[in-house]
């Protein structure tokens, strides 16, 4: 297939350059397709001319990355809205809502890259555990074994460092490409205490080089990991994928290109390409930003689980099921902080989080009893990240104006002496939790903003209530003098000033174009294409039918690799567990 034969500009347009879009760009360009990646954000990741080196824009700079919207989206030009339900009216708040970076590389740029796989049971919750009233718990249309080869490929491409230390992990066909990196001191304390509590902490599989890999250096533990671009390219996701794609000579990345329309033929069943706004033109360009059109045989939609349904809804595409935007899931975050007598240096050294445990996903007798008490058939939590706190500006903001500000900062109770467990709790799908188009708030280009309508199921709250005291006692055993629990969203929605705000702060966004076995009950087919338009491949976490309790990124990369390999007719052969 080449553009010149069909009269098209390229074989495939990829919308979005985050981990999902980057994977698609790599697989498709490697298979010989001509690829154009359109990214609405700006490029700070890598030079777009040979040899595609780093741009040098990333640095250890708390102001740039956490206070000044460096990686976008700026809520002034791209506001989003949130409400808990219709009873909040059209919206409860406007501004920054789950805004993953909008930039070349997407959210991969500033994630700290904990990249665990899902487990076998995650693909068949409905048939193995059964449904839950008020939630739409389903099986995935594929099994773990279908995805295993792509998990292995994803780990290889991104460069994941890890080891076989988790007794609950799914089977693997091959070892991790790299050994784990340095343990953070705090996680040695919290890990030892977790062990004493009968839990099973392990070194987190992480998309960060522990040794030189793929032409990029080993991490030097600079401490500016979560929320920062890596100044030395030790984080593999997604720079490794985009650079490979560019190196084929068949991939072009166009930043500041905001796709507002997927064009179709008259039947409406075939995509013919896209139209996008060229945001590089001056803002006072007469008539608004110039519109460009690209014609292609395929379109890969990888705008992330927030923007993907927004684009489909705006275009009225892919929605014969009525499910586009629905079953929006976030991880329910339970944060348990502990204050230690001595400095742990977790805020300034290492990769933000170096250990995890899965015990609250797997459950035990006590968790079953808690489920019973809550009138639920089961409870499933999520990975617990053992991690440090954030930088000094954030700490100083939290003290408020007072006489002891300087002394508090030196004592550093909320930074270097803090250690935090964050549980990424499984969020059950509910059709009323959704992204739709706000009736009146618009972005700078006149398009309706995405609006989140979201309220957690009582499963998430019951799970959090059950797990939080366990995590508090582990932290105390590790040496914490005090502990404090906060959740996002709040467990009590009548709290006027919840610690983490009203809208979910999770950056794990899933489920708004779910994948399934039939066009009536899903948006995307088991091979990753829209049921309604089979030359549109969806390559981000919007396709997840359930949220699981694991970070979504490795799985969305594996799914994107699978969908695009199926499209080029080059699926990976089945795998089997490696011999020990």
Partner 1 sequence: MFSNFTASQLVALRCVLDRVIPGDDLTPGAGEAGGAEYIDRLLGAFNFDPPQIWAGGPTSGRRGGAAAFDHWIEMGEWEKLAWRTRIDQWSLVYEAGLLALGDDFVELSPDQQTERLKQTSTEFRSVLYEHGCESLYGDPIYGGNRDAKAWQAIDYRGDVQPEGYTDQEVSAP
Q: Which positions touch ligand SF4 (CB under 6 A)?
A: 208, 219-222, 224-225, 228, 230, 232, 234-235, 351
Quote the crossing angle between the two packed helices 185-196 and 458-478, to the nearest 10°.
110
Among 28, 31, 100, 242, binds ligand FAD (CB under 6 A): 100
Q: Which is nearer to ligand FAD, 52 or 378 (CB)?
A: 52
Q: How far apart, in whole angstroms, are the C-alpha atoms of residue 580 and residue 147?
A: 21
- 301: which strand partners? 15, 538
Is residue 57 near partner 1 by the rule CB under 8 A?
yes
Among 86, 283, 496, 573, binds partner 1 (CB under 8 A): 283
Number of chain residues interacting with ligand FAD (CB under 6 A): 40
Q: How far apart, in whole angstroms, are the C-alpha atoms of residue 79 and residue 442?
A: 7
Among 39, 78, 233, 532, binds ligand FAD (CB under 6 A): 39
Give the SS3 label for residue 449: strand
189 contacts 69 by C-beta, under 8 angstroms: no
Q: Which is nearer to partner 1, 12 or 225 (CB)?
A: 225
Which residue's structure tokens are 């740029």?
A: 109
Is residue 226 near ligand FAD by the rule CB under 6 A?
yes
Tally of CB atoms within 10 A around 316: 9
> For 526, which DSSP code?
T
Q: Which is nearer to partner 1, 37 or 561 (CB)?
A: 37
Q: Which is nearer to ligand SF4, 386 or 502 (CB)?
A: 386
Report the candidate in 175, 148, 179 with the shortest Cα–Cα distance to residue 162. 179
Is residue 504 near ligand FAD by the rule CB under 6 A?
no
Q: How far apart, in whole angstroms, are the C-alpha atoms of residue 90 and residue 93?
A: 9
Ranges of beta strands (E only) in 226-290 are: 251-254, 257-264, 271-278
Nearest distance from residue 352's CB to partner 1, in Å? 11
Among 10, 184, 240, 509, binds partner 1 (CB under 8 A): 184
Among 8, 30, 43, 103, binds ligand FAD (CB under 6 A): 103
- Give 526: exposed, middle or buried? Use CB within 10 Å, 0-12, 13-18, 19+: middle
Q: How far apart, in whole angstroms, are the C-alpha atoms of residue 306 and residue 147?
A: 24
Q: Which is nearer to partner 1, 331 or 417 (CB)?
A: 417
* Token output for 186: 């705090």
11 contacts 33 by C-beta, under 8 angstroms: yes
- 515: which strand partners? 524
Is residue 393 near partner 1 by the rule CB under 8 A?
yes
Is residue 564 near ligand FAD by the rule CB under 6 A?
no
Is residue 343 near partner 1 by the rule CB under 8 A?
yes
Nearest distance from residue 277's CB to partner 1, in Å? 10
Is residue 499 near partner 1 by the rule CB under 8 A?
no
> For 107, which DSSP code?
G
Is residue 302 near ligand FAD by the rule CB under 6 A?
yes
Measure Cα distances from 326 to 67, 322, 487, 502, 528 in Å: 32, 8, 23, 20, 17
Is residue 111 near ligand FAD by the rule CB under 6 A?
yes
* Token output for 176: 């991790």
Stretch 71-110 residues interacting with partner 1 (CB under 8 A): 72, 74, 76-77
Is residue 48 near partner 1 by the rule CB under 8 A?
no
Nearest distance from residue 134's CB to ligand FAD, in Å? 26
101 contacts 110 by C-beta, under 8 angstroms: yes
Give the SS3 label for residue 466: helix
Is residue 42 near partner 1 by the rule CB under 8 A?
yes
Nearest distance from residue 40's CB to ligand FAD, in Å? 4
Where does this chain touch ligand FAD (CB under 6 A) — which range of 113-121, 356-364, 400-408, 437-445? 113-121
Residue 423 host element (H or E): strand 418-425
Q: How far apart, in whole angstroms, are the C-alpha atoms of residue 540 and residue 14?
A: 11
Task: Show the DSSP H helices in 248-389 as ranges.
Answer: 304-315, 359-362, 365-373
Residue 225 binding result from ligand SF4, partner 1, ligand FAD, none, given CB thresholds of 5 to 8 Å by partner type: ligand SF4
Nearest distance from residue 538's CB to partner 1, in Å? 27
Measure Cα distances from 97 to 227, 285, 474 in Å: 16, 29, 32
Where does this chain touch partner 1 (CB under 8 A) — which range of 20-28, 170-178, 214-222, 498-506? 214-222
Q: Which residues lie near ligand FAD (CB under 6 A)?
A: 15-21, 38-41, 100, 102-103, 106-108, 110-115, 226-227, 258-259, 302-304, 307, 311, 507-508, 540-541, 551-553, 556
Q: Which residues lie near partner 1 (CB under 8 A)?
A: 42, 44, 54, 56-64, 67-70, 72, 74, 76-77, 181-185, 188, 219-224, 231-232, 256, 279-283, 343-345, 348-350, 391-393, 395-397, 400-401, 403, 405-407, 409-410, 412, 416, 444
């Amino acid at each position: 297939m080449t553009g010149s034969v069909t009269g098209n500009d390229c074989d495939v347009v990829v919308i979005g350059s985050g981990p999902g879009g980057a994977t698609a760009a790599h697989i498709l360009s490697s298979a010989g397709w001509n690829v154009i990646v359109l990214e609405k954000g700006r490029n700070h990741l890598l030079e777009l001319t040979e040899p595609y080196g780093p741009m040098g824009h990333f640095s250890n700079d708390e102001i740039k990355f956490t206070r000044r919207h460096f990686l976008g989206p700026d809520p002034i030009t791209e506001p989003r809205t949130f409400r808990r339900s219709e009873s909040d009216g059209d919206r409860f708040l406007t501004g920054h809502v789950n805004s993953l970076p909008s930039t070349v590389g997407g959210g991969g740029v500033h994630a700290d890259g904990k990249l665990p796989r899902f487990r076998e049971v995650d693909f068949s919750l409905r048939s193995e555990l059964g449904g839950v009233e008020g939630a739409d718990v389903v099986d995935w249309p594929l099994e773990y074994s279908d995805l295993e080869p792509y998990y292995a490929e994803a780990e290889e491409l991104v460069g994941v460092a890890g080891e076989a230390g988790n007794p609950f992990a799914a089977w693997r066909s091959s070892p991790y490409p790299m050994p784990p990196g340095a343990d953070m001191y705090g996680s040695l304390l919290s890990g030892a205490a977790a062990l004493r509590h009968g839990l099973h902490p392990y070194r987190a599989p992480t998309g960060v080089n522990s040794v030189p890999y793929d032409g990029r250096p080993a991490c030097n533990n600079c401490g500016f990991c979560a929320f920062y671009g890596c100044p030395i390219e030790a984080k593999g996701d997604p720079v490794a994928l985009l650079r490979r794609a560019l190196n084929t000579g068949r991939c072009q990345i166009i930043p500041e290109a905001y796709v507002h329309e997927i064009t179709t033929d008259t039947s409406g069943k075939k995509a013919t390409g896209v139209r996008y706004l060229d945001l590089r033109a001056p803002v006072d360009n007469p008539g608004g930003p110039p519109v460009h059109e690209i014609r292609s045989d395929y379109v890969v939609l990888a705008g992330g689980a927030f923007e993907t349904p927004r684009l489909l809804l705006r275009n009225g595409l892919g929605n014969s099921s009525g499910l586009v935007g629905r079953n929006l899931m976030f991880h329910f975050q339970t944060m348990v902080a502990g204050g230690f007598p001595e400095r742990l240096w977790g805020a300034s050294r290492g990769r933000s989080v170096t250990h995890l445990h899965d015990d609250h996903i797997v459950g035990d007798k006590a968790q079953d009893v808690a489920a019973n008490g809550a009138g639920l058939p089961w409870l499933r939590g999520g990975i617990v990240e053992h991690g440090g706190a954030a930088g000094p500006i954030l700490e100083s903001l939290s003290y408020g104006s007072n006489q002891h500000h300087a002394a508090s900062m030196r004592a550093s109770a909320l930074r270097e002496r803090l250690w935090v467990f964050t549980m990424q709790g499984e969020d059950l799908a509910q059709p009323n939790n959704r992204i739709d188009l706000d009736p009146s708030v618009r972005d700078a280009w006149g398009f309706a903003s995405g609006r989140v309508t979201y309220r957690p199921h009582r499963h998430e709250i019951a799970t959090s209530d059950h797990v939080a005291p366990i995590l508090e006692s582990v932290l105390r055993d590790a040496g914490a003098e005090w502990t404090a629990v906060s959740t996002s969203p709040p467990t009590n929605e009548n709290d006027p000033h919840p610690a983490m705000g009203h809208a979910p702060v999770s950056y794990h966004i899933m489920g708004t174009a779910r994948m399934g076995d039939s066009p009536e009950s899903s948006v995307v087919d088991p091979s990753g294409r829209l049921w309604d338009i089979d030359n549109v491949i969806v390559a981000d976490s919007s396709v997840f039918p359930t949220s699981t309790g694991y970070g979504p990124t490795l799985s969305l990369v594996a799914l994107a690799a699978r969908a695009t390999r199926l499209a080029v007719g080059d699926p990976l052969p089945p795998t089997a567990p490696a011999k020990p």
